[in-house]
Amino acid sequence: MTAIYFDDDATLDAIAGATAGIFGYGPVGRALALNLRDSGIRVMTAPEFDDEAEMASNDEIPALPAAEIAQTCDILIITTPDDALPPLYMGSIAPHLKRGDLMVFTSGYAMAFGTVEPPPFLDVGVLAPRPAGDAIRAGYLSGQGALTFISVAADSTRRALDRLLAVARGAGLLRAGAIELLPEHEAFLALFVQQAVIPAFHHIMVAAADLLVNQGIPPEAAISDLHIAGRFFDYLRRANRDGLMNTLLDSPLTSQYATLSRMARFSELRLERLMENTFDEIVSGAFAREWSRELMEGTPRLDRLRKLESQRTVWDFEQQTLDLMRDRP
């Protein structure tokens, strides 16, 4: 049975006297740094950009170069994006690693696809919060926490799990539960959502908006009801709280019948095959290799795809709708 860890499963004593170094001070790095500091843990950061350094200064979080963080700290928390991690790791982190350091990744990508290889004298783990950085911080302040995946990848000290749980507790990541998951499974899951679920969602929303507008529905009404503030938005909010099936069964009878009687229309085998193929590309490493080549070439395909997608008329309607809603008294 899958283990789920909560605050009662951890003690901060496991990292007493340790200093945590956060690589990157973006939304996730900042949230983790502030949460750990507010839990009484000494924290430093290695910002990647000038604006991150300024923010760390405003937050009174000491900022140092990455190499000094690696030399100084016992707990190394890496929030650097997967595509930028290998050069940072090889140039500034790896040469300064110390026996018994705890290295914590916020994504399983590096271990799943071998983009970095921590030495055997470290404790290595994954803490992968699912919400964005501002939600991680808000969850800490409210006491609700943030759903997280957790994994021990290497245990040189025989205390890796205790130490990782202590970091998770200090960051407020055990309050909502931390689900144990292999590093590669975390990476597979994240990539699958990005490559199968979100593309399908985007396609459905764009197709629906185009159809509704072409049928005379005002674009502001169509786009609002589809994904900004309408019933679908409320449905997802309730599903987040109560579960998808409970939300369906708690809906009005007309809504239940409308959904259930038409659901089979969208249960095409082609969609299932597309998802299976997508998952196979992830697990085999084909996507990771494709993405590495794209990065080496300067992301030409990504640039073309972004430009092509941004030219859709629906996004102009979307921005107009957002502007109208923000300008309301």
Task: Quickly count: other Cβ atoms within 10 Å of residue 289's Cβ.
Answer: 12
In the chain, how long is the greatest CA-to-CA distance? 67
Q: Would you give the end-to-end CA distance of the chain in angstroms?
A: 51
3-state DSSP assignment of residue 281: helix
The bridge status of strand 148-155 relative to strand 123-129 is antiparallel
pLDDT at 328: 58
Split into its structural domains, the chain has a count of: 2
pLDDT at 138 > cutoff 70: yes
How far is residue 58's CA from residue 219's CA, in Å, rounded to a whole number?
42
pLDDT at 329 > cutoff 60: no
On whether both 165 and 198 belong to a single domain, the answer is no
- pTM > 0.85: yes or no: yes
pLDDT at 327: 66
On whether both 213 and 230 belong to a single domain, the answer is yes
Q: What is the mean pLDDT of residues 86-115?
A: 95
pLDDT at 301 > cutoff 90: yes
Range of the domain at 296: 186-326
Q: Which amino acid is at 62?
A: P
On whether both 67 and 170 belong to a single domain, the answer is yes
Residue 170's nearest CA partner among 62, 11, 314 is 11
On whether both 142 and 197 belong to a single domain, the answer is no
Q: What is the mean pLDDT of residues 50-64?
A: 96
Could you give the C-alpha distances from 165 to 14, 15, 74, 174, 179, in angstroms and in order?
Answer: 9, 10, 15, 8, 11
DSSP state of 17: T
Q: What is the mean pLDDT of residues 180-190?
A: 95
pLDDT at 81 > cutoff 70: yes
Mean pLDDT of the chain: 92
On whether both 163 and 267 belong to a single domain, the answer is no
Residue that finishes a domain, picked among 158, 181, 204: 181
pLDDT tens digits along 267-290? 766 888 889 999 999 999 999 999
Q: Which amino acid is at 222?
A: A
